[in-house]
Amino acid sequence: MTNAHGHPGALPAAALALAALAGCAHHPAGRPAGSPAATAPSSAPPPQSGGRYSQDHDSTPAGPPPDLSRIPEPVPKAEPPSQYGNKSPYTVLGETYRVLPNAKGYVERGIASWYGNKFHGYTTSTFEKYDMYAYSAAHKTLPLPSYARVTNLENGRSVIVRVNDRGPFVANRVVDLSYVAAVKIGVWPKGTAMVEVRAIDPDHAEAEAVAPPAVSARAGAAVTPRKAPKPALYLQVGAYADRANAERAAAAMRAAHLGDVRIVEAQVGGKTVQRVRLGPLADVETADRLTPKVRSLGLGEPRVAIDD
């Protein structure tokens, strides 16, 4: 029951492991009256369509993208933890995840995807209704709800989202954006993009919620892309304290003839580590194609790494 981006159907964390395989009985709900996006076209599947389970892939509403100037971004504020979606640890598709105790200081780079029609109106992990016309997101470990600024590293556009769902449970993805959030920062229609996810501390929300000058724009308007070098995309197969272990891993990678392999020295927690990386890679599709091949070498689970 995952969509094309690996989203598990927006289920409460306590039920994710079973429901991801067995399906669920949630039904689409109508948009609340007075919603900021109440004028947007309805996209919930008609009853006779069989709902989202009749859709092999996710989709967008018919017609042009929505008028972003009519859909305000959320204002970060302190909220109590959701009764649902914060169970920790939890397991989905054989992988175990631990929810962060709070969002303070969280910053991560990775690949963003989006979800739309297939899940519109269905229950999220917090038991709210997913609204693809609201600025929201799904994340595997941030506490629910929380707020984050997501910046597209390929064009400088950014958006504030309210994280109220779990996912995406697929390799090489760090966040699943709602349809309008994806439109605003240019993840749609491309499908994916390299992004930075930076959590917003509710105690300092006013300062942290301000977009950098390079990505600011009038309220609700799409941002003109900046001219900046494209970030470098890699698959990292490990970070080793012992240089000899790094060399062995790199040798195994080179023997597989998957591409350029390098060892990059870095400081982590005051210690020197040797990162073994494949790349730079041409695009996200290349990273996705190479991931199972790297995994098959038995060097551990590769992960996406993005450098300026």
Report yes or no on 262 lying in a domain: yes
CA geometry: angle 140, 118, 15, nearest 5 deg: 45
Report yes or no on 7 lying in a domain: no
Looking at residue 225, its pLDDT comes to 52
CATH code of the domain in which 245 resides: 3.30.70.1070
Report yes or no on 274 lying in a domain: yes
Single-letter code of the amino acid located at 1: M
CATH code of the domain in which 54 resides: 2.40.40.10
d(CA 137, CA 149) in angstroms, rounded, equals 10
Looking at residue 29, its pLDDT comes to 36
Q: Are residues 103 and 206 in the same domain?
A: yes
Residues 165, 136: contact at Cβ < 8 Å? yes
Q: Are residues 33 and 125 in the same domain?
A: yes
Report yes or no on 128 lying in a domain: yes
d(CA 159, CA 133) in angstroms, rounded, equals 14
Looking at residue 211, its pLDDT comes to 58
Q: Are residues 252 and 124 in the same domain?
A: no
CA geometry: angle 260, 262, 267, nearest 5 deg: 150
Residue-wise over 64-82: b if at least 16 C-beta within 10 A, else e? eebebeebebbebeeeeeb
Looking at residue 226, its pLDDT comes to 55
Q: Given 215, 245, 268, which residue is the final one in a domain?
A: 215
The CA-to-CA distance between both ends of the chain, in Å, stands at 35
Looking at residue 205, its pLDDT comes to 62
Residues 159, 147: contact at Cβ < 8 Å? no
Report yes or no on 2 lying in a domain: no
Run means of pLDDT, 10 residues per run, the chain, 308 residues: 42 38 32 31 36 50 80 95 97 95 96 91 94 96 98 96 96 96 94 96 68 44 57 96 96 97 94 97 96 95 92
Looking at residue 118, its pLDDT comes to 87
Q: Are residues 280 and 241 in the same domain?
A: yes
Structural domain that includes position 247: 232-307
Number of domains, the chain: 2
Please give the DSSP secondary-structure letter assigned to residue 30.
P
